[in-house]
Amino acid sequence: MVHQKKRFETEIIHTGYDSLEEQGSLVPPLFQTSTFTFSSAQEGEQRFCGESNGYIYSRLGNPTVRILTERIAALEQGEAALAFGSGMAAVSGTLFHLTKTGDHILCSQGIYGCTFGLLQLMKEKHQITHDFLSMDKEDELRSAIRDNTACLYIETPINPTMRLIDLEMVVKVAKEYNVPVVVDNTFSSPYLQQPLTLGCDYVIHSATKYIGGHGDVIAGLVIGRHEELGKMAMSTQKDIGGIISPFDAWLLLRGLKTLPVRIDRHCDNAGKIAKMLKQHLAVKKMYFPGDLDFPQHELAQKQMKRPGGMISFEINGNKEDAQAFLNACKLIKIAVSLGDAETLIQHPATMTHAVVPEEERLKMGITDNLIRLSVGLEAWEDIWDDLKQALDLMTPENTAYEMK
Ligand code: MET
C-alpha cells in the first residue's frame, strides 16, 4: 500500500492497513497462528535465507503485528517499530541491544522500579554500570557522560514524580558525544509528545498503558531507525523471543484508534482534579505538569501537547496515612498500571517502586506519603467526590487514625 501521510488522528485509524487487501474486512484480521505454511520445501529454504519475502513463524513476524508496528512507527514519526510481550521486554531489549559488558548507562533521576531492577541485574551479570542525573543542566550532563556511556535512558514525565527532562537540551549534548538517547514515552503517548522529532533515537512504550487503554493487555513497543531495529529484532525477538502475541497486537490496534479522544478526556479530567486537589488541606504538595505552579510548567508547554492524565501528590502524614487514604477510596481502584478508563490509585513507595532502596527512592523524590493517581475517563465530578471524601478523613479534625 502506498502510504500518503495524513494527520495524527487519521493515521492512528488507517496506517498500515488496506481493507481491500483483506477481503474488505474493515477491521484488520487477527492472524492467530504460530506458523505459516510454505508451498514447497524450496520456498521454505528461500524464506529462511532471505531470498523470498513472506512469513515463516510468528516469533519472526506476523501480519497483525506488522500493522501495529507500522502504525506506531508512523505515529511516533520513526522509521520502524518492534512489538514486545511487555513494556519491560521492550526496555530490556533496547538496553541489551545498545550495551556490552563494561558499558555505562546514564539515566534520568527517577525511573520505573522494574527498570531500576533491570539496571541492577545488568550491573551484576554484565558489569554494565549506571548513574542517575537530574539532567537539568547542560554542563552537569556533559561531565556525566563517560567514554563508555552507551546511551542516555530517560523517562519524561518521570514515573511517578512527574519531573520532566528537556529533550531538546539533552539531544543537543548527546549529539556532541554521539551517544544515543532512549526515551520512555509511556506517560505521554505519541499523541502528547514525540521524542524522535526532537532528535532522540529510540522511543519505548509500555503499551499496556495509554496505547492499549482498556486494561486488558500487557505489551511493549520500541520505535527507532530501520537498520538498528532490524538488528534488535534478530537478537531480542528471534533469539531471545520476547515477542507480543497476535491477539494482544490486535487488541492494541483496537485500543489505539480512540487514543486521541481518550487522552483529551484524560487531560480534561486531570486538569479539573488537579485544581481541586491543590486546594484541599490534606494535600501537602501536588505534581502535575499542567499546574501553573509546577516548576517545569513552561517546559511542559514547550515539549508536550497537553499535560497528560497523571497526577502525583503528597498527603500530610506518613506511609500509614497514605495507605489509609487509599483504603478510603471507593470508586477509585487501588492498582498499579495507568492510562485505563478506570481511575487508578497507587502508593509508589510500597508498590511500583518498592524494589528501589529507600535512600535511592528518596533521591528520586518518592516519599512515603506520595500517591500516584491515573485519572480515568469517568465523570470528573465523581472522581473528585471520591477523592474528597477520602481526603476529608485525613484533615486534622478527622484524621486517618480515627478511621482505623
Ligand atoms: C508491577 S508494578 C507497575 C506497573 C506499571 N509500570 C506502573 O507504573 O504502574
Cα separation of 314 and 376, whole Å? 20
Q: How far apart are CA 126 and CA 103, in angstroms?
A: 9
Q: Does the beta carbon of 86 sit less than 6 angstroms from any atom of ligand 1? A: no
> Order of strands across the sheet with 80-84?
80-84, 220-224, 202-206, 181-184, 149-155, 104-108, 129-133
Whether cis (ω within 30° of 0) applies to the bond prior to 157 is yes
User: Of 352, 366, 373, which is best to mutate to test ligand 1, by the most ligand atoms within 8 angstroms of its C-beta?
Assistant: 352
Contact call for residues 249 and 212 (beta carbons, < 8 A):
no
Cα(256)–Cα(26) distance, integer angstroms: 15
Complex ipTM more than 0.85, yes or no? yes
Evaluate if residue 399 carries a pLDDT over 80. no
Q: Give, using CA atoms, the residue closest to atom 6 of ligand 1.
A: 337
Fold of 259-403: Aspartate Aminotransferase, domain 1 (3.90.1150)
Q: Is the CB of 159 under 6 A from ligand 1?
A: yes
**32-42 average pLDDT score:** 98
Domains of the chain by residue range: 8-30+61-256, 259-403
Q: Where are the alpha helices (DSSP H) in 221-349?
A: 226-232, 246-256, 259-279, 297-303, 319-328
The CATH classification number of 8-30+61-256 equals 3.40.640.10
Please write the tens of the pLDDT for every residue from 353-381. Answer: 999 999 999 999 999 999 999 999 999 99
The response to whether residue 337 sits with its C-beta less than 6 Å from ligand 1 reads yes
Ligand 1 test: best mutation among 112, 188, 350, most atoms within 8 Å of CB?
Answer: 112
DSSP-H helix ranges across 81-234 = 87-98, 113-126, 138-144, 167-177, 189-192, 226-232
How would residue 401 be classed by pLDDT, with cut points 50, 70 and 90? very low
Whether ligand 1 lies within 6 angstroms of the CB of 345 is answered as: no
Reported as half-sphere exposure (CB side, CA atoms, 13 A), residue 149 has a value of 25
Residues with catalytic function: 59, 112, 184, 209
3-state secondary structure (DSSP) of residue 224 = strand
Ligand 1 contacts CB of residue 46 (under 6 A): no
pLDDT tens across 141-200, in order? 999 999 999 999 999 999 999 999 999 999 999 999 999 999 999 999 999 999 999 999
**What is the CA(326)–ligand 1 centre distance, in A?**
17
Q: What is the pLDDT of residues 285-335, one digit of tens each?
A: 999 999 999 999 999 999 999 999 999 999 999 999 999 999 999 999 999
Q: Tell me the pTM.
A: 0.96
Q: What is the rounded average pLDDT of the residues 390-402?
A: 72
Ligand 1 lined by 186 (C-beta under 6 Å): no
Strand partners, 106: 131, 152
